[in-house]
Amino acid sequence: MNVVTAEILRQYFLSIVGEMDEMVSRSSMSPIFNEGHDYTTGLFSLRDSEIDLIALGTGVPVHLFAATTSVERFMTEFRKGLCDGDIGLINDPYHGGGHLPDWTLIKPIFVDGTPRFCSVVRAHMLDPGGPYPGGRNPNATEIWQEGFRIYPLKIVEAGTVRHDVWQLLLANSRLPDYLDNDLKGMIGACEAAARRIHSAVEKYGLAEVQESVGYTLSYSEKWIRKEIEQWPEGQYRGESYADSDFIETRDIKIRATLTVRNDGVTLDFAGTDDQVKGCINSTHANALAYALLPFMTVCPDIPVNSGLFRPFRVLLPQGTVVNANAPAAVALSTVCVGHEICEAVLGALEEVVPERVATASIDMCFLYTWGKDPRYNEFFLSTDYYASAVSAGGAFGQDGWGALAATMNGLRLPTFEMSEIQYPFFYLKGEYATDTAAPGRWRGVPAFHLRRRITAVEQPVSMTMFVRSSRHPCKGFAGGKPGKGNRYVSKPGTRNELGVIERLDQISVDSGEEVFCEKGGGGGWGNALHRDPDLVLRDVLDEIVSVRGAADDYGVAIDLAHQCVDQAETQRLRQARRVKT
């Protein structure tokens, strides 16, 4: 095998998923695609019984980790009945999906009459059908109450769209025009990837391309195994808690026990709480994706493909909240308990590689609004990403920055102006809040404050809120403090004002009424008393930290008149704090 050629092809595979990504974004109609970027593209290798992720787009990484299960399920279902030109579709969480809004489109790529590769798009559909707009029913206790289930099927057969299936899908969505356009964009992206693969095979030959895939996977596997060999052998434990299942159960424990040996790592979630009544239960595929994500985080330079995960064995006890039995409700599991799974594993890794751990997930909250927009005389449905805009935490050598943590690194915040065109909204505030960043040697990102008003509607619209991590905010690491936590306020400043720390279901909101959202950031890293005083001064000048916050949280005295650190007073404050602890 020519290593130079193998590396050229590895980069070529990445360019393919990058092109797929751009095609979906530029051709889609739904704002959740072309503005929010809530989808991920990937390329898989099919060889004998092995199905391997070989390239991942820069979307939502946990989408494609879980999509491996989708590809496996589809190929098992149709291996003896596949034709060149077939494209499959799955969303059923108990048959290879994650949760019902995430649809996985799978195109087997044939070479010499045999499926050798798959191009895949996994995307969050704005309205996947079912009793509740957006597919997240806060009252659901079983999967049938959440939306339209799609068992593995062919949406395109031998190059021809199955009209009956297509119309069935459109008939079950409140936004059929969006769905129609978005599916066409996803199919176009998968078709483009197939053309690129065929070009590579024509130029290099199938054997050379497959050898290069083997090289790509082995390269990542060898690198991660070398990393593991440097980790101290032993058993380590981490825990995280979900606030609630949004119906009846609170303080739901996720426990991860990490066993490190030179030849591999075992993750065991024994001790995790049983599955719950509400919609946060996880299927095996979703939990597996979140359990493996932290290893991508602590080894960020290793190319992400199936080779990276070969040394890991993950045990997810059946009947628990991380591997629920059907027909448990699962609509929110892709972020809750997904976030807690990731956080528990990172808690265990904190004892192994403390300088590499940080908030790597997102304690996402949801603000759904739907109704009729009289400007266009149309039904609208909004998932407002600004209501859950931040989660990044401090890491060794780096403050929390930007907005979202690694698992959601491809999500984008649309402009307020575009959102106001698309929906009957007016944004009054969208900004970082002072004294809300988790203290640490490297602090978390500040909380984000959103204030939004409903405008120009002729009849009230509906709004549903899911708020989590109020009691159990994002953890800090290596002595860093936790994040601020989350809260929403419905109709602030009126006699009907109501604070929300769990859920508010389908309230009626009229023109002129508002909502306030405080979305906390991730945890800090390291002891806040070890933070460079000059960095604290910078934060004070940037209004991220107040003068009082600098003293209380960091033991740093700021002379605001002269815009400098009072070194003598800072030394006294920190010494006094150390004596107390």
Count of other CB atoms within 10 angstroms of residue 478: 20
Q: Which residue, chain included where needed, has tokens 């996994």? A: 122
Looking at residue 65, its amino acid is: F
Share of the chain above pLDDT 70, in %: 99
C-alpha distance across the termini of the chain, in Å: 60
DSSP 79: G
DSSP 124: E
Q: What is the mean pLDDT of residues 94-107?
A: 94
Q: What is the mean pLDDT of residues 546-560?
A: 97
**Residue 352 predicted with pLDDT over 80:** yes
Q: What is the mean pLDDT of residues 156-162?
A: 98
Instruction: Determine contact, residues 276/320, Cβ cutoff 8 Å.
Output: no
Which residue, among 89, 56, 55, has the nearest Cα to 74 in the 3D structure?
Answer: 89
**Residue 86 predicted with pLDDT over 90:** yes
CA gap 573, 563 in Å, rounded: 18
Count of other CB atoms within 10 angstroms of residue 141: 18
pLDDT at site 61:
77
Q: What is the mean pLDDT of residues 401-424?
A: 86
Tens digit of pLDDT for each residue in 244-300?
999 999 999 999 999 999 899 999 999 999 999 999 999 999 999 999 999 998 999
The alpha carbon dihedral of 189, 191, 193, 196 has a sign of negative
- Going by pLDDT thresholds of 50, 70 and 90, the confidence category of residue 581 is low
CA gap 236, 350 in Å, rounded: 9
pLDDT at site 1:
73
Tens digit of pLDDT for each residue in 481-532?
999 999 999 999 999 999 999 999 999 999 999 999 999 999 999 999 999 9
CA gap 326, 82 in Å, rounded: 28
Tokens describing residue 345: 């594993």
Tens digit of pLDDT for each residue in 162-189?
999 999 999 999 999 999 999 999 999 9
Return mean pLDDT, the chain: 95
| CA-derived radius of gyration, the chain | 24
pLDDT at site 106:
98
Tokens describing residue 470: 């109020």
Question: How many residues in total does the chain contain?
Answer: 581
